[in-house]
Every structure is written in C-alpha cells, then in structure tokens.
Amino acid sequence: MLVPCFLYSLQNRKPSLYGSLTCQGIGLDGIPEVTASEGFIVNEISKKSIHISCPKESASSKFLAPYTTFSRIHTKSITCLDISSGGGLGVSSSTDGTMKIWQASNGELRRVLEGHVFDVNCCRFFPSGLVVLSGGMDAQLKIWSAEDASCVVTFKGHKGGILDTAIVDRGRNVVSGSRDGTARLWDCGRSACLGVLADCGSSINGVAVGAADNSINLGSPEQMPSEREVGTEAKMLLLAREDKKLQCLGLQSRQPVFLFIGSDAFNCCTFLSGFLLLAGTQDGNIYQLDVRSPGAPVQVIHRSGAPVLSLLSFRDGFIASQGDGSCFIVQQDLDYVTELTGADCDPVYKVATWEKQIYTCCRDGLVRRYQLSDL
C-alpha cells in the first residue's frame, strides 16, 4: 500500500517535499511495517502514530491518528467545542442548529441547550465546568446550566451576531466580540453590559483575555471602573478583526496598547504568556508578536494558504487548525511537529484540550479525540 507523504517547513515558504510510504505488511505485534521513499526516514511507528523525517531539510513530523471518533453528537458541521475543566463534559455547536452537552469519554449525549434563534457561533465552559457561555447569530449571549440545560442569563445589546467570547478570571465578567464591530464587557450577576470596550467599525472574529507582564503599560481608565468589574485589572484584551487589524488594549483602562496590520483578515488569537501572543489570518499566516515591541513579528509561520481557524496555547507551544483539514502541535522542547490526522480536507474549526487529550471539531460533523500518550 502506497501512501503519499509530505512535510512542511514551519519557518519559511520553501516548496513542500513529496514522497511516499509503503506498507510491507503487519508485524506480529500488530504494528505496520512501513518504508519511506528516498529522502525520507521512518523514525518510529506504533498503532496510532508514525514519525517521519526528511534529514535534508531538517523537517520532522509525527502523525497521530484519533484515539476515538464521535459521530452521533451532531448531524452536520460542528463549528465550536469546549471541554469542561474536570474533563468530564464536552459542549459543541453545529450548523444543524443545535448546541449539545455530551460525555467527553464516549460522546454520549447529556443535554440539549435550546434557546438561540439561528446558529450558535461559539460556546465554552466557565472555569467551574458547571456553566456554559454561548453566543449566536441572533446577537444574544446566553449562560446555561450544564446540569439541567436551563438558560439562566441572556445578554442583549449587540446589533450583530456574536462571533467569539472570553471569560474573565472565574467568570463574574465575560467579554464578547461581534459582527457589529464592538467588543463588550458583561456583568453575569446582573445580566448587564458594563460597557463597550472597543468599537472597531469592522467585524471582530476572535477575542482573547490575558494577564499582562508588569513591564507593559496598559494605561489608566478615564473613569473609575464599576465595582461590578471583577478581575479586569492588569489584563489585556486582544481583538482579531476582519479589516486585517489585530488590536490590543487594556481590559480595565480601555486604553490602546498596540494596533498591528496583517496580511489578511484575522480569524483568531490567543496569548502564550504575559507578553507573547499568536494570531491567525484568512490567508494562512500565524503571527507571533511580542506586546513589548509589536512593530515587527517575532516570527510568521506559514504552512499553506488555508485560513487559520483556531489557535490554542498548549504546554510550552500551541495547537493550530486550518481550513484545509490540517491540525498541528508545535512545542518548544520537541524537534518535530505533531500532526493530528483524520480530517482529510475538511476544515477543523476548533480545538480543546484536557490534560493529555485533544478534541477537535470539523466540517465533516465529527468530534475526534486524540491521546497524546499514544505518541
């Protein structure tokens, strides 16, 4: 059996190198015996993973198959998912019009969360793991009980669909970004908007909140913050905008920290530390920026022209997923990239982790669970 093989160079835009893998049979231990074409080496192989390298280009990738696949949660494309802090529950939303809570171990359905009109764009657990935050095309932000599926809070104020959310500290306050070009801060206890954090005039596709390093000047608020603001001090807010701009501001001060212009619309963003961040664009660029000197990127990673759909800080690196079905892990202490396989060419919209388990959701309607211990 022949399988095409190609490895990416993360740091530059050299052409991809192509080769093939040939399965010579199955060993007595049940592990395939695989050889690679000229220029490639099979370093290691197990039932769930294969490690291929290309010495000439100093490129190395470990391909990991899903440990299990959940096919019965949704009937259509799954656009978002998250895993609870204890790892027991998953929540996901789909273009089939549903949002569901399920058992993370086996995909068994637990609750259906009904109340949004039209599609749900984003969903995530609060740190407690007992409550879910969702945002929909109906411009509403909702809070749900994971225990009985009741909607306990509905926030109204946006004039366009909500595309992403972030939770501040333990969850007394949350942030939303919308197609209407605004990012808003909400008080969960009183179901009230505490203010418009930014009005960009352009759709906000992604938001992230992170603790700021002491060396970063976040500015001072022009007015005394509301006593209902909890945990916003010394925090940065990052906005991935449709107009090719990445905006950072002080969450409490509302003062600008930087504005970076990228190559295309920014789809997603995340903080790696108190001063390092990542942001992904529609044309396949992943920008790493240092907030202390944001004028030029620390590096730009470009693997393909497919849109970067999600970015997640993971251990000492990150996980990224793209519109061509690729999903990969980059870690500082490893000399190879881990490729999460299975999606083929269907976009992988979101990634969530719990300990050594990674969950992805895809246009093909499947949730895939990977076990890093299989590496």
CA neighbor of 82 nearest in space, from 363, 375, 357, 344: 357
pLDDT in tens, the chain (375 residues): 444 555 555 555 677 788 899 999 998 998 999 999 999 999 999 999 999 999 998 899 999 999 999 999 999 999 999 999 999 999 999 999 899 999 999 999 999 999 999 999 999 999 999 999 999 999 999 999 999 999 999 999 999 999 999 999 999 999 999 999 999 999 999 999 999 999 999 999 999 999 999 999 999 999 999 999 999 999 999 999 999 999 999 999 999 999 999 999 999 999 999 999 999 999 999 999 999 999 999 999 999 999 999 999 999 999 999 999 999 999 988 889 999 999 999 999 999 999 999 999 999 999 999 999 876
- pLDDT, position 116: 95
**Residues in contact with 190: Cβ distance below 8 Å, sequence separation at least 6, in sequence order:** 228
- Measured CA to CA, the distance from residue 228 to residue 173 in angstroms comes to 8
Domain 71-371 sits in CATH 2.130.10.10: yes
- pLDDT, position 370: 98
- pLDDT, position 1: 45
CA-to-CA dists, residue 120 to 128, 181, 184, 347, angstroms: 22, 18, 18, 18
3-state secondary structure of 206: strand
Positive/negative CA dihedral, 60, 349, 303, 276: negative
- Measured CA to CA, the distance from residue 260 to residue 240 in angstroms comes to 10
Q: How far does CA 60 lie from the centroid of its chain?
A: 24
- 94's tokens: 């789909």
- Measured CA to CA, the distance from residue 106 to residue 11 in angstroms comes to 37
CA-to-CA dists, residue 270 to 166, 255, 289, angstroms: 10, 19, 11
Query: Dihedral of the CA atoms 104, 73, 308, 213 (nearest 10)?
Result: -30
Cβ contact 33:47 at 8 Å: no
Q: What are phi and psi of 374, to 5 degrees?
A: -70, -10
3-state secondary structure of 7: strand
Question: What is the CB neighbour count within 10 angstroms for residue 68?
Answer: 12
- Measured CA to CA, the distance from residue 208 to residue 188 in angstroms comes to 18
- Measured CA to CA, the distance from residue 109 to residue 366 in angstroms comes to 14
Domain boundaries, the chain: 2-64, 71-371
pTM of this prediction exceeds 0.85: yes
